[in-house]
Chain A
Amino acid sequence: MPDATGLELAAQRVRDVLDDDAVVGTSYHHELATLEVAPARVHDVLEHLRDHDEESYGFLASLHGCDYLPSEPRLGVHYQLLSMQRRERLGVKTRVGVDDPVVPSVTDLFPTADFQEREVYDFFGVVFDGHPDMRRILMPEDYEGHPQRRDFPMGGEPVLFTFNEHKLPRWYD
């Protein structure tokens, strides 16, 4: 794990190579170093971290989505990078709004991102620009909505128990 200082150094290296707006901020919690990145620059930052940085990360361990309702911008995409050589992990985070949730795809850098980006699209509605096959992966193709968003109704049906029997329509009528 890069420590808090190592994280700041890594963030500064990214800022030097790209530009100051690429890295929005850093956070260091529970020994996990995380770069916060502008959504449009995700691909550039990950490409730099994979290929050009002096402490490079060759493996995308995980890519997942998140909904931060009620804070804005609501949606987030998290990337977990792993360096097999140094046994170090680095998180990369980005935040996009619900109105125009577009993040550049990193499938050309990490082929493993293909299905995971489709999953994030399926459940959170984040569109990955440049993805070769942007469709739903788990829910049925004709499903409407993105069910893991926090404002999405839970769904399901009330189950008949003795305590709520009088509230539900009489099933045996």
Chain B
Amino acid sequence: MEVTRSKVPASKGDLRIRQRQAQQLLRGELEGEDLDSYVESRLLLTKFEDAQNWARKNAIWPLGFGLACCAIEMITTIGSPRNDLSRFGAEVIRFSPRQADMLILSGRVSIKMAPIIRRIYDQMLEPKWVISMGACASSAGMFNNYALVAGADKFLPVDVYVPGCPPRPEALIYGIMKLQEKIMSGPDQGWRERYSAEGTEEATDDLA
């Protein structure tokens, strides 16, 4: 195989030029227009909230929590290299609700499980997000009977609903990307403010 070599033309982003400019800046040798253009090229201006939201949306840590068959699908979506959820910063599963940002309700919610899920949700720190994955968590799906809660939004606020039985990995990833868009758009951080639920706090007797 014949190999031809050609010289790569030095661009503005050439590492050696940038290193040289940094040296000159530190020595105080850059002046005038050169200094202005160098400082302009090295700065990124943004709002603090935007930067914060950007950081948050790219590190949504899900809680290690599964309810039924959708959980298997969720595990393959999060854990497998084929789907590779770490592209979206959501692959670090935390098994403590104190460290998790996102609760993926993957499976049917029985009336016996609902208070437990609510307690786990209350233990998570703000800002926290909920994805209702699959038909069962969203509406009891095909198990629309005496044993299940028809829709997890009856007892906790849900941010994104992903339909499907179970949803394909692409669908769940799309739901997570929708959640990222939502985080980036800067909603209220507390869920009560976000869903206008102020005043619904239930004080226990010893606190009241």
List chain A positions with a Cβ less than 8 A from chain B: 138-140, 147, 152-157, 159
Question: Which parts of B89-121 form the interface with A (CB within 8 Å)?
Answer: 111-112
Nearest opposing residue in chain B for A154, CB measure: B145
Contact residue among A140, A157, A159 (Cβ-Cβ distance under 8 Å from B111): A140
Judge if B139 is at the interface, Cβ distance under 8 Å: yes
22 contacts between A and B (CB under 8 A): A138-B112, A139-B112, A140-B111, A140-B112, A152-B146, A153-B146, A154-B145, A154-B146, A155-B145, A155-B146, A155-B147, A156-B140, A156-B145, A156-B146, A156-B148, A156-B150, A157-B140, A157-B144, A159-B139, A159-B140, A159-B144, A159-B150
List chain B positions with a Cβ less than 8 A from chain A: 111-112, 139-140, 144-148, 150
Inside 8 A of B145's CB, which chain A residues have their CB? 154-156
Nearest opposing residue in chain A for B141, CB measure: A159
Let me know if B144 and A156 touch, CB within 8 A: yes
Inside 8 A of A156's CB, which chain B residues have their CB? 140, 144-146, 148, 150
Q: Which 6 A-B pairs have the closest CB atoms?
A: A155-B146, A156-B144, A157-B150, A147-B146, A156-B145, A155-B145
Inside 8 A of A159's CB, which chain B residues have their CB? 139-140, 144, 150
Tally inter-chain residue pairs, CB-CB below 8 A. Answer: 28
Nearest opposing residue in chain B for A141, CB measure: B112
Inside 8 A of B144's CB, which chain A residues have their CB? 155-157, 159
Query: What CA separation (Å) do A124 and B139 show in the bound complex?
Result: 27
Inside 8 A of A154's CB, which chain B residues have their CB? 145-146
Inside 8 A of B146's CB, which chain A residues have their CB? 147, 152-156
* B139 nearest CB across to chain A (Å): 6
Let me know if A147 and B140 touch, CB within 8 A: no
Inside 8 A of B147's CB, which chain A residues have their CB? 139, 147, 155
Inside 8 A of A153's CB, which chain B residues have their CB? 146
**Best-buried of A152, A153, A156 by chain B (most CB within 10 Å):** A156
Query: What CA separation (Å) do A15 and B139 show in the bound complex?
Result: 54
Query: What CA separation (Å) do A153 and B145 show in the bound complex?
Result: 9
Nearest opposing residue in chain A for B146, CB measure: A155
Query: What CA separation (Å) do A155 and B140 show in the bound complex?
Result: 11
* A41 nearest CB across to chain B (Å): 34
Inside 8 A of A140's CB, which chain B residues have their CB? 111-112
* Extra A-B contacts (9), CB below 8 Å, given A140-B112, A156-B144, A159-B144: A138-B112, A147-B146, A152-B146, A154-B145, A155-B145, A156-B140, A156-B145, A156-B148, A157-B140
* A163 nearest CB across to chain B (Å): 16
Query: What CA separation (Å) do A155 and B148 show in the bound complex?
Result: 9
